[in-house]
Amino acid sequence: MPTALSPTANKLAQLRQRMTDNQLHAFVVPSGDDFLNEYVPTHLNRRQWLSGFTGSAGDMVISATDAVLFVDGRYHEQVDSQIDTSVIRSEKLGTATAKSLTETLIAHAAKHTSNNAGAPYRVGVPATCVSQAAYQRWQQAVGNTHHVHWVPITQHPADAVWEANHESPRPQWQPSPWRMLSDEVAGQSAADKLTTLRSTLAKHHATVLPITATDEVAWLLNIRADDIPHTPVALAMACVTPQALTVFMAKPLLDDPAQAATRQHIQSLGGTCQPLGQFYPALQQLATLPTTKPWLDAANMPAAVFTVLGKHEGAIKRTSPIHSAKAVKNNNELYGMRQAHLAASVALCTVWYQLHTALQQQQPISEADVSQWIEAAYRQHPACTGLSFPSIVGTGENGAIVHYGTPNPKRLLQPGELVLFDSGAQYCSDGGSTAPWMGTTDTTRTIVVGTTPSEKQRHRYTLVLKSHIACAMQRFPKGTNGIQIDAIGRSALWQQGLDFMHGTGHGVGCYLGVHEGPIGISKGYSTAFTPGMITSIEPGYYESGWGGIRLENLVEVIETPEHPLATTGDPMLAFKPLIYVPFDTTLIDATLLTQAEQGWLNDYHAKTLAHMNEQLTDSTLLAWLSQRCQAITS
């Protein structure tokens, strides 16, 4: 009797049958969804359903004989523990032997064409679920020499397999209600944003801007919702022309009496509401007009948008004006981010003290316990609406898993081990007794459990701290970008032959996505920093089987008039911390820090203590915090 297929093997077999029906030899399953979301709602997470892998990034290629999942350095430790390795293999990008997605396709295509008299190798791509930039990179990497024939697919074939699957049925999507932000909490009315946007379009002679990113729709309209885990946005799209605004939303919301105010808000902007499924047909209608000159963002719009509008004469192809405007926070948003981080500082200092007390009492504490404490501490603040991403709590060897998002209830903290906790929260206080504000936080600390740390732990921790401080205290001229700062941040680790396989920092939204372009600190961010932008600084060190260290603060880009550039007199820029949580001084080897680095650290700890003295009333906690913030010298 034949052996029954595993659940994963069964899903892949059914998908391969769909591929055969469409004369496809391979199919790419991108990590993103139809909106290119990072955190994908369950009913659109085809890659996770097919593979079991829960990471926020990682594309798949499925052929007749092979299924490959490609992951970056954040997930090298995680991936094989989640997938069925008997039917899916992982390629750990960045390692010496790893093959990329395109290299894998080239190898498959070469074998196919050799065995089939040069017949083309047809590769299906769901054009609505991959950015135009990524699609172009794949095409350019493969080139014309390997007989790869790309086939854009508008209906994702995994959907039909999922709909027919009874063992793990596709979840039904229930759209969440939309809620409007006041002009005060947003800092700018939606009407003013539209006016500015249209002015920018006119300046570049563009007549239409399709908006497919959920955070751009939310920012432009000053609305929020809960359709995506951890990111307060709606699954919606929009289209802006000089005369019209069309918002494409879930059909149930079009008829919901409770959403009448939202629809009236859109109508007050001169807009109309249509079902979400009408977005691409609407673009096709615009494509027929000879006067249409679309503004298209290859990095942030699906390839399907370019298929409809990309060949239009006069198309503007550059970063979306919304994407750029959203990155520079207005004064109200900056106020909100500062308030949010004060609330998060209180929560994290409280959790660290709670952990310290429980360990002193020799209570058994698991990773899951700490994760639950963190969320509970955040939610103590009345403005907290939830987490900004699943909390990462990794002790011992689990700390080496960069995005370890499943804290283990059975993995107890052990004396002498490092514990890495990376967490964030969403806050919105729109009204009430205080000025309205909103914000998004993201913070990482690494501490040692109980006993005196080892020499290696202190050495590695201090190198990561040096890397953090190098970024945090760096002044730089206008026009500097994240590529340049990234090298500064890695210098202390590079000097010791060490590195980490993720970016040094990422942009962050204001009550939006915890990861937001177009700025950040890594090899991939060429956009210059501007005052009002928010980025993380988070260098790390990870060693399989040993553990991991990451130290992350969110910082605001500010001008420093007191430090002008000598050649021009222009103020230089710098980073100002938003979060105030101590670093673990028991892990710091002060002899490895320069006087300037010690000065930055002591100043940061002094400000941390001052802020917490204003926010906290527990004298015992404050006394403990005072010890954690004592000045260090070498």
Q: Which residues of 510-539 are buried (b: 16+ CB within 10 A; e: fewer)?
A: bbbbbbbbbbbbbeebebbbebbbbbbbbb
| Residues paired with residue 294 on neighbouring β-strands, in sequence order | 208
Per 3-state DSSP, what percentage of the chain is helix, strand, and coil (rounded to 5)? 40, 20, 40
Residue 75 pLDDT class (50, 70, 90 cuts): confident
**In terms of Cα–Cα distance, which of 379, 355, 377 is closest to 367?**
355
In a domain, residue 170? The reply is no
355 lies in the same domain as 280: no
CA 392 to chain centroid: 14
Note the pLDDT of residue 301: 96
250 lies in the same domain as 322: yes
Domain total of the chain: 3
Whether the predicted pLDDT of 406 surpasses 90: no
Q: Angle 331-360/619-628 helices, nearest 10 degrees?
A: 100
CA atoms of 394 and 445, how far apart (whole Å): 11
Residue that terminates a domain, selected from 326, 356, 379: 326
223, 179 in Cβ contact below 8 A?
A: yes
> Rounded mean pLDDT of the chain?
94
CA atoms of 62 and 29, how far apart (whole Å): 8
Question: What is the per-residue pLDDT across 528-552, written as a single tens digit (0 to 9) for each?
Answer: 999 999 999 999 999 999 999 999 9
Note the pLDDT of residue 3: 56
Q: Which helix (H) or strand (E) holds 501?
A: none
Q: Which CATH number goes with the domain that contains 437? A: 3.90.230.10
Token pair 């202390």 is at which residue?
A: 492
Note the pLDDT of residue 443: 98
Residue that terminates a domain, selected from 141, 164, 187: 164
Note the pLDDT of residue 118: 80
In a domain, residue 363? The reply is yes
Q: Determine the average pLDDT of the residues in 217-224.
A: 98
196 lies in the same domain as 339: no
146 lies in the same domain as 189: no
In a domain, residue 172? The reply is no
Whether cis (ω within 30° of 0) applies to the bond prior to 518 is yes
119 lies in the same domain as 208: no
474 lies in the same domain as 571: yes
Question: What is the per-residue pLDDT across 353-370, written as a single tens digit (0 to 9) for each?
Answer: 999 999 999 999 999 999
Whether the predicted pLDDT of 141 surpasses 60: yes
- Token pair, residue 570, equals 């222009």
322 lies in the same domain as 344: no
Whether the predicted pLDDT of 1 surpasses 50: no
355 lies in the same domain as 472: yes
Note the pLDDT of residue 604: 98
Residue that terminates a domain, selected from 326, 360, 382: 326
Q: Determine the average pLDDT of the residues in 557-586.
A: 95
Q: Determine the average pLDDT of the residues in 82-93.
A: 92
Q: Which CATH number goes with the domain that contains 110? A: 3.40.350.10
Q: Which residues of 162-182 are buried (b: 16+ CB within 10 A; e: fewer)?
A: beeeeeeebeeeebbebbbbe
Note the pLDDT of residue 166: 81
385 lies in the same domain as 434: yes
Question: What is the per-residue pLDDT across 599-612, written as a single tens digit (0 to 9) for each?
Answer: 999 999 999 999 99
In a domain, residue 13? The reply is yes
237 lies in the same domain as 365: no
344 lies in the same domain as 322: no
Provide the whole-model pTM.
0.94
- Token pair, residue 316, equals 């503007």
In a domain, residue 171? The reply is no
In a domain, residue 173? The reply is no
In a domain, residue 349? The reply is yes
Question: What is the per-residue pLDDT across 430-489, written as a single tens digit (0 to 9) for each?
Answer: 865 568 999 999 999 999 998 789 999 999 999 999 999 999 999 999 999 999 999 999
% pLDDT > 70, the chain: 98
**Which amino acid, one-letter code, is at 542?**
Y
Whether the predicted pLDDT of 634 surpasses 90: no
Domain enclosing residue 223, as ranges: 179-326
264 lies in the same domain as 219: yes
Note the pLDDT of residue 81: 87
% pLDDT > 90, the chain: 86
127, 310 in Cβ contact below 8 A?
A: no
In a domain, residue 122? The reply is yes
Note the pLDDT of residue 143: 81
